[in-house]
Structure 1
Amino acid sequence: MPFATCAAGPALAPLSLPARTAASATAARCGAFASPYYPPSVLACSLPRADPTAAAPPPNESRAAARAQRPRGGRIRAQAVSVAEGQTAEGSASEEEFEAVIGIETHVQLSTDTKAFCSCPSRYGAPPNEHVCATCMGLPGALPVLNGAVVAAAVRLGLALQCRVAERSKFDRKQYFYPDLPKGYQISQFDEPLASGGHVVVDMPVEAGGGRKRFGVTRAHLEEDAGKSLHGGDGSQVRYVGVGNGNMAEGSMRCDVNVSVRPRGQESFGTKVEVKNMNSFRDMQRAIDFEIRRQSSLLRDGRAHEIVQETRLWDEGTQQTAPMRSKEGLADYRYFPEPDLPALALSQPFLEQLRADLPELPEQRRRRYEALGLPMQDVLVLADDKEFSDYFDGVLAAGADAKAAANWLMGDLTALLKAERRSVAGMAAVMPPSTLAELIALIQEGTISGKIGKELLLVLFMEGGSARKLVEAKGLLQISDEAVIERLVDEVLAGNAKQLEQYRAGKTKLQGFFTGQVMKASGGRVNPGLMNKILMKKLNAPP
């Protein structure tokens, strides 16, 4: 079955998504998404609003550094908007005065072997100007050919974002000059995007008030990834559906933030400022906080005219934004239908097949974990990373108790992963999920104690093997024979007569001392429940 068919006819222009994919990310702590082209839908109502401006092109300044053509993969760009209540901490706008409208535009590079519109490899870290061809350079006579894998990946992400995927969309040319864009235009989508009208449901952590928030996604579209200048010097939905790695450090996922502040109750939006150069979600939050404070301060001082529509850069060193360039309008890009690519037509069978092939999405997984009786804090940690979550599911599939498995994974195993700098995949290769399930079963059935279990976990994590066979080989079976335990308790009490006398005189805190001594005498193998029962009976017996 063909993945898609290209129908001849006029091409319209939606938003841009490079050979890698860009999808809207959730606003750090706001209630909705904002879009540069087809902007914000307010969180509560998800009502789209028109945006007169578009994302500005890259800066035009000459640069002394070396230029390099980054693999032009495909990417998806999604947009959404959010209205945030005025902040009150650290000098931000008072809650009574202002509210911020925040939009986030996210570019996600798609994990495809070749670029969006040619057969050149798309590899991160390749030498400059190596993976380029006549199509990349826009040489006369070179025509683009749409990569089917890019379309399939973009559709999967659109479906994962609960978007309406258009059976017909088109590509457009976005005109601007930049040294890293030798063609002088970028193939993007403008007025007919691949997907639109989606949403993401986020479970909020307890410290953020708990509950769930629904963030609207205005649109997601495909565009080629523009080149990158190299200078001397330097989720989860994306990973879940396998369309990209979501690595912000590599530039595989990039987020631009649009922030405007207005007096509370005012219907019209304030002047929008775009912020770039944020390499982490923490940077995004700090940049948003700074812009809200900066714009609020200017509004309070009667200097609203100093808030201009511009692009600003986030400076991690100063923790401030700084002007980069004035913001162009939509007309400056002179969008027109891409003449070398026909409109993209997707068949219903193709869309339904991709929908059926979607993996369990983060929200669905969180609901399933909730049904297991896990607290939301555990659910958020377990479902946050797909590899980690898959490992947890493997432990459950092997028969382990959900709460016990969650505790071991989020506690001892997480600590070991960090200490040994090992990935979840690396851990699974040595200690598969079934091994952890076996260890948990040994503890719960009373074969070994929890203390011995922790010691065995380190061995299994480093060397692998069978938990049960390791217990048998090392003679670590838990002592549950009451006669043996009673003898151990008698020996400890006889060897600590002074402490026994103090306990019986009222110093009951010494119970912990005796418990530790019995555990030590048994090598940590004694059944703690039986041991405590026998110990208390003998401690409280008449002299």
Structure 2
Amino acid sequence: MPTITTLPSFDAAINRFDPVMGMEVHVELGTTTKMFCGCSTEFGAEPNAQVCPTCLGLPGSLPVVNRVAVESAIRIGLALNCRIAEHCRFARKNYFYPDMPKNFQVSQYDEPIAFDGWTDVTVDTDDGARVFRIGIERAHMEEDTGKSLHVGGATGRIHGASHSLLDYNRAGIPLIEIVTKPIEVPPALAPAVARAYVTELRELIRALGVSEARMELGQMRCDANVSLKPTGASSFGTRTETKNVNSLRSVERAVTYEIRRQAAALDSGTAIVQETRHWHEDTGETTAGRVKEEAEDYRYFPEPDLVPVAPARDWVEQLRGTLPEPPAARRSRLQAEWGFTDLEMRDVVNAGAVGLVEETIAAGADAAGAKKWWLGVVARTANERGAGIDEVGITPADVARVQTLIGEGTLNDKLARQVVEGVLAGEGSPDEVVTARGLAIVSDDAALGTAVDGAIAAMPDVAEKIRGGNMGAVGALIGAVMKATGGQADAKRVRELIVERLSG
């Protein structure tokens, strides 16, 4: 197979090919116990401390379905406008992988609990916002696998590692896998639509309260399927599946890269292999994993140790009554409450900051201030680090506290920016950063008076203008005082002191 070293630009790729996408999103449910046993799901325990004969698949152990997980699955399905099965069952999905202690995964195959749904996503374009309906093929229940830790290599992957360690604490944690129907949108918008879909889904999952959906912790993971077909063709091309993409930004980047990579391969006469691929955040590239099996390769058969699940229709309707406000309706309501323009709200949505702004306001900040910090220095830091805006080490409570310190007169905007930067750098809470860096505004008259007198002495011509009634010249002296105090002077009090000294 020829080696492809140069990729076409994204625009060049979509001039010749139409991408077709499919998103498979795994959501780790926030239950207190695992899917089929009573082991704890608490994150961060010592390796292999939360296991039992059932989740380890030991002989003689029998699984029992977690009712809360079934309830969560039904609520997710309803929120995605799916039909809820009157009768469904679990199956064994057979394949060998070291972090699967049973050598099979209990999942659902031909009888998922939810199917045939849809959700709408909004994407910004040069012609304004456009809404795309994403079809949902199915949402089914399954159990998570354990975790492999590859030690001794440079990349953390099995290639080059000296040995591997296995932690089965995660094995058996309830998962919902949400699978879309093929997504065909204007080619130039494909990566943005992929990101918008996962963003909308995460917002919905969080609103339902069934999971925190923190992608950086693996609580929500996206497998992005991409194939290309010649422009205007009807038959789909061979797809690849980029596994476990763990940030919204990476979803968009991974889809973009795969479109370019596959276009280069097809241009060179290389056949696309149906395979899983690994996403590399540092290089922005995917690399080959394993050849992707078809369904028959998994040798699905009904799980003999679990009875079918038959949700009563009155229970389903009761659960329908617990659904939260749809994300789109919530955004419209919040926009009205916050007084944001369409463009301002769009910026907040695109940054993935709707919930963060809402929590910041709830913690005491005003809407304008909350938006300014999240979409300003915090968003820039996230972009520099290649991380999500909610993954850089500052909380809504921190941002609200910065706003409070401004309101109290402890900080001005310039000092507040330094405080936010300190929090982002891991230096502690806003108050701790203020104390450690000595960033509080100087309002003591004695200290300010000395700085004011120095500025007047250094700029006698400006002082004379002020004495003559030209109050517009006050700004020059205020600027000199601010410079002398490192920006920490109380500008309002400085102005008062200048006027007092020069009004006689």
TM-score (normalised: structure 1): 0.60
SS in 1 for 2:37: coil
Letter matched to residue 347 of structure 1: A
Secondary structure in 1 aligned to 2:151? coil
The one-letter code sitting in structure 2 at the alignment partner of 1:424 is: T
1:273 aligned partner: 240
Matched residue SS, 2:215: coil
**3-state SS, counterpart of residue 93 of structure 2:** strand
| 1:311 alignment partner, SS class | strand
| Structure 2: distance between partners of 1:284 and 1:98 | 20
Unaligned residue ranges in structure 1 (runs of 5+): 1-87, 464-473, 477-488, 539-543
Contact 1:239/1:386 (CA < 8 Å) preserved in 2? Answer: no
User: Which residues of 2 match residues 205-224 of structure 1 at below 5 A?
Assistant: 210-224=129-143
Moved over 6 A (4+): 412-418, 435-443, 448-455, 492-495, 500-504, 517-521, 527-531
Measure, in 1, the Cα distance between the counterparts of 2:373 and 2:224.
38
Q: Does 1:307 align with 2:272?
A: yes
Secondary structure of the residue aligned to 2:241 is: strand
SS at match of 1:217: strand
- Going from structure 1 to structure 2, the CA distance change for 1:452 and 1:248 (only over 3 Å counts) comes to closer
Counting aligned pairs with the same residue, the percent is 41
Change (3 A) 1:395 1:406: farther
Query: What residue is the counterpart of 1:376 in the other structure?
Result: 345
One-letter identity of the residue aligned with 2:90? F
2:331 corresponds to which residue?
366
How far apart are residue 269 of structure 1 and its match?
A: 0.2
Cα separation, partners in 2 of 1:289 and 1:193, compared to 1, 3 Å = same
Q: Does 1:391 align with 2:398?
A: no
Distance 1:254 1:125 in 2: 18
- Determine if the alignment matches structure 1 residue 295 to structure 2 residue 262: yes
The C-alpha deviation readout for 1:384-410, integer Å capped at 9, x for no partner, is: 3635423324548xxx6x446644665
**TM-score of the superposed pair, with normalisation by structure 2:** 0.64
Matched, 1:347 2:316: no
Maintained 8 Å contact 2:363/2:396: no
SS in 2 for 1:268: coil
Alignment of 1:177-256 (within 5 A): 177-204=96-123, 210-232=129-151, 234=156, 235-256=202-223
Within 5 Å, give how 1:8-27 maps onto structure 2. none
Residues 251 and 515 (structure 1 numbering): CA distance in 2 closer, same or farther, change over 3 Å? closer
Which structure has the larger Rg over C-alpha atoms?
1
Amino acid corresponding to residue 185 of structure 1 in structure 2: F
1:38-62 Cα distance to aligned partner (Å, 9 max, x none)? xxxxxxxxxxxxxxxxxxxxxxxxx
Contact 1:366 1:383 in 2 (8 A): no
Checking the alignment, whether the CA contact within 8 Å between 2:119 and 2:134 is kept in structure 1 is yes
User: For residue 118 of structure 1, what is the aligned residue in structure 2?
Assistant: 37
Check if 1:145 corresponds to 2:64.
Answer: yes
Post-superposition shift, 1:110? 1.2
Taking a change above 3 Å as real, the CA distance of residues 161 and 168 of structure 1, as seen in their structure-2 partners, is same
SS in 1 for 2:334: helix
- SS at structure 1 position matched to 2:55: helix
Q: Which runs of 5+ in 2 are unaligned?
A: 1-6, 157-201, 383-388, 421-428, 433-441, 445-451
Equivalent position amino acid for 1:350 in 2 = W
Q: Which has the higher contact order (CA 8 A, sep 6+)?
A: 1
Give the CA deviation at 1:196.
Answer: 2.3
Residue of structure 1 in register with 2:302 after alignment: 337
Q: Does 1:102 align with 2:12?
A: no
CA distance in 2, matches of 1:203, 1:365: 14
